[in-house]
Structure 1
């Protein structure tokens, strides 16, 4: 169940008439950070970062991507198109300069922002345990993933009806049986991540964000994955501006070797490996991530 009192809800209308919904936490008067949520997830993911954003004086805004949560579906989605949506949100919120973060499946969208947006506007980029599965070709990292995740990538690219069914099953569990959903996540991750999810606020925020992902069904998530696993339209080896790339070295969902390769081949990468951390490095290291973001954005 969505609790609209935990953070400020808002909507922005794009030039082509779509609605982008967001949740804002932190300091409303502070520098703007636009966050790209993971998957399955939604704008409600912002609640996982509320305390850290407030402590660093940041205005932290997580936007539902098209077809997720309350944002309008979009048939022809592209990485460049989403970066234009991010600038639309920043403009609507009255900010010329802003930062971008992205976690897990949201990580590649943060990298796209680094590739496409003017550094004079985009002052900070952090990509946190990104699902970099299409960085160097279609499903290029399949050999480094678990058998189930590699198979999911194959379905996404070659048999979309099967992929729809897979995510429909996940959506049923996330929306109807949140305790089972959390139990399955805890089984898949390491002790570092489980400790984070043992905190009641984190567990509730994560479960709510996952359930809200499926408010319009699974189509948005399927379209996301198609772009995620297919060779990206932008070249990470051409990104020279600073990009902070955070990775738990014991990540059971996105193995560290995937993003270590991205860091090696991306000229602007600022590599932040975290020993013992898992996929929830984004939450566990939020203070450190936001300290750097605040400095880049000139927060007091």
Structure 2
């Protein structure tokens, strides 16, 4: 009995040991997916964390070289003056630069035109660009208010003109919405369009959206539907990100290629995003293509008594912003003076003579 009992006990012990190993192995294999999941989750969390900006003038930031004003919220805005002296000017213009640009990319204006008409122009670094402090709380309205503060600090008077190019042209819509009482006139030059503005019929915006290169379609989807992923999407190497940010030559039409060298040869290009790309490029995408609290196509004429005018200029061979969208906006807002240029791309202001013609049209009409 004892030997049999001993055998039974040994078998039982062996069986118990095998079960223990089996349970231990099973538990281990169950933990592996959990550990992998936690590892991926940790990596994903780190990947989407937005780095702080390298503010100009801070111990680890770039130097301050431009004149700047201090805004009410403590941020600094850098600017650059052009044309005749401010105190001698008849016309005062605030120029708003586009994506991947800065105050040095002022709208081209000949010395002759500036002196003949008495034009003072100030360009400024939008928040996060160049030497202007980043504003991670930037909104549609905040840039319009930055412009108003800049004008007040520089003493431009109760009314001034705004002229915006590309993404800066899109900002002009916000000026027409939030500070129309401060405007003497406005020009939108090849303004970027948000494909999700509700005023567009679905077929119009959809057709235009799919005219873009594939990487830009995805970059804008992320910016619109998952803005919290925008930083990661535009810094990862798994999928192609914005071709506009990469200056992919496919975004330029033949007319653009004839002047693109002027755009690419900028000696200050490294200064444009020196404080980081989130506060400049990425917020431009998030705000420009996010869900707007107003539709530009619902705006009313800010100059009902013809005391000023609004102009929209666009090239019919613009590959970045489809002209069909501007045509629709012009139909919806008949008070806009719409100018469509034939054989012109997105970079048409760089073509000789065109910029002077545009500025003159804004200030004194087509005389």
| TM bracket (short chain) | 0.7 to 0.9
Give the match for residue 231 of structure 1: 291
**For structure 2, which runs of at least 5 residues remain unmatched after alignment?**
1-64, 238-243, 303-308
CA change 1:51–1:21 in 2 (3 A) is same
Do structure 1's residue 245 and structure 2's residue 322 form an aligned pair? no
Give the match for residue 175 of structure 1: none
Give the match for residue 28 of structure 1: 85
Q: Aligned equivalents of 2:317 and 2:120: distance in 1?
A: 30
Give the match for residue 136 of structure 2: 75
SS of the residue 1:54 aligns to = helix
Give 1:133-148 correspondences, 5 Å limit.
133-134=194-195, 136-137=197-198, 140=205, 142-148=209-215
SS of the residue 2:286 aligns to = helix
Do structure 1's residue 92 and structure 2's residue 153 form an aligned pair? yes
Q: Aligned equivalents of 1:252 and 1:188: distance in 2?
A: 6
Structure number with higher relative contact order (C-alpha < 8 Å, ≥ 6 residues apart): 1
CA change 1:143–1:86 in 2 (3 A) is same
Equivalent in 317, 326, 335 of residue 259 of structure 1: 326
SS of the residue 1:100 aligns to = strand
Q: Aligned equivalents of 1:126 and 1:94: distance in 2?
A: 21
Q: CA deviation at 1:149?
A: 2.0
Give the match for residue 126 of structure 1: 187
Q: CA RMSD in A?
A: 2.9
Give a deviation string over 1:271-295, Cα, whole Å, max 9, x none.
Answer: 1000000001233321111102332
CA change 1:182–1:64 in 2 (3 A) is closer
**For structure 1, which runs of at least 5 residues remain unmatched after alignment?**
1-7, 171-180
Give the match for residue 72 of structure 2: 15
CA change 1:252–1:118 in 2 (3 A) is closer
Q: How many residues align?
A: 273
Using the size of structure 1 for normalisation, the TM-score is 0.80
CA change 1:183–1:224 in 2 (3 A) is closer
Give the match for residue 104 of structure 2: 44
Q: CA deviation at 1:143?
A: 3.2
Q: CA deviation at 1:245?
A: 0.6
Q: CA deviation at 1:198?
A: 3.9
Give the match for residue 176 of structure 1: none
**Residues 250 and 275 of structure 1 are in contact (CA less than 8 Å); yes or no, is this contact kept in structure 2?**
yes
User: Which is higher, the Rg of structure 1 or of structure 2?
Assistant: 2
CA change 1:50–1:182 in 2 (3 A) is farther
Q: Aligned equivalents of 2:78 and 2:212: distance in 1?
A: 32
Give the match for residue 57 of structure 1: 118
Q: Aligned equivalents of 2:291 and 2:339: distance in 1?
A: 25
CA change 1:294–1:147 in 2 (3 A) is same
Give a deviation string over 1:71-129, Cα, whole Å, max 9, x none.
Answer: 1121222222221111111111111221111111111101111122134x311111111
